[in-house]
Copies of this chain bind each other. A is one copy, B any other.
Amino acid sequence: MRVEGTDYRTVIMEGSTVRMVNQPMLPLRFEFIDLPTHHDTARSISSMIVRGAGAIGAAAGYGMAQVALEAPDGPEFMDYVQAGAETLRQTRPTAQDLFYAVQRVLDAIGGADSVQAARQAAVETAQAMADENAAAGQAIGELGATLIPDGANILTHCNAGWLAFVDWGSALAPVYVAARQGKRVFVFADETRPRGQGALLTAWELQGEGVPHAVIVDNAAGRLMQTGEIDMVIVGADRVAANGDVANKIGTYEKALCAADNDVPFYVTAPTSTLDARSPNGATIPIEERNADEVLHVTGITDAGEWARVRVSHAQAKARNPAFDITPARLIRAIITEKGIHAPHELPLEASR
């Protein structure tokens, strides 16, 4: 998508190097970081240099391609590949796209009849997945835009924009398509504590695409629905269970409750790579608990234009930090994939693995 007139992808691979947007620098600086080995790529996922379901999936796919390129010839090849897959799988527990991408490259490697063919299959599969992810975002955007009336005020949570994917995004893709179609749209971006992806990333993305928007604290969505100022909610997903329950960034469930209580339609967007046919419902999705420091500190930009971290509680304070929650299917009006607009209990599960 667009930054000052130029189009970019979030994650690409050049030779054996993965190159990605250095997301913790946004919105202060828009810069890219090069990751020469799969170990670097794995660390970029666990440390959230790259975050967002689709972007994690693409990075993991490219990371598996790096694994195949790095692996020694001969009988140790598959051992190295399996160890690399495990390293990548251990980076984040909730995002379905991560496991989908690792497995799909593993399958491609397993189907090759030589080490050289395996390396080529790994690189091609990773590239294909990245291209599919970008295409899925665009398709979700075009389908989702049909649900957006002219003049709509749209709430979104966290960042499910192009930074969270290879391109376009999931939740923001319909917004971008609607805006490019000439519809007037306004976006309320939930700040999304603890890491602030809504205020830091979504607002910056919307600015780049010229979409008018306002940041709100996560507490304010209910009030703005009470007053009729929000017409619809669109969020992304980190994993969608077979019954339509959705794991997404912590706080999504609260917004869905607000929407239900105020008859505001609540839409979830996700490529089919985020569907998990093997999780029968939300209770079977593992939920990551992250470090308490993320809650007890806020990182932001000083008046001097530098990053700084401040503590927001007393020095002995403890915190709990679940990173995701489960939005039950009953609160979701529809789930939009690249294949269509689905009732939560009618997902195209055959497309997932």
| Residue from A223, A250, A299 having most chain B Cβ neighbours under 10 A | A223
Contact bitstring A206-234, B, C-beta under 8 A = 1, else 0: 01000001111111111110110000000
Query: Is A287 interfacial (CB 8 A cutoff)?
Result: yes
Q: Which residues of B contact A251 (CB under 8 A)?
A: 217-220, 222
Query: Is A123 interfacial (CB 8 A cutoff)?
Result: no
Give Cα A218 to B257, complex, Å.
Answer: 14
Size of interface on A: residues with Cβ below 8 Å to B: 62
Q: Which residues of B contact A196 (CB under 8 A)?
A: 312
**A99 to nearest B CB, angstroms?**
22
**A292 to nearest B CB, angstroms?**
8
Q: What number of copies of this chain does the assembly contain?
A: 2
Query: Is A316 interfacial (CB 8 A cutoff)?
Result: yes
Main SS at interface, chain A = mixed
Query: Is A104 interfacial (CB 8 A cutoff)?
Result: no
Decide: A200 and B313 in contact? CB cutoff 8 A: yes
Q: Which residues of B contact A297 (CB under 8 A)?
A: 300
**A21 to nearest B CB, angstroms?**
15
| Residue from A224, A227, A261, A318 having most chain B Cβ neighbours under 10 A | A261
User: Contacting chain B: which of A49-57, A142-150, A187-195?
Assistant: A187-195
Q: List 21 A-B contacts (CB under 8 A).
A: A27-B313, A27-B314, A191-B313, A193-B217, A193-B218, A199-B296, A199-B312, A207-B317, A213-B318, A215-B319, A215-B320, A217-B295, A219-B254, A222-B325, A223-B253, A226-B253, A257-B261, A301-B310, A301-B312, A302-B309, A310-B310
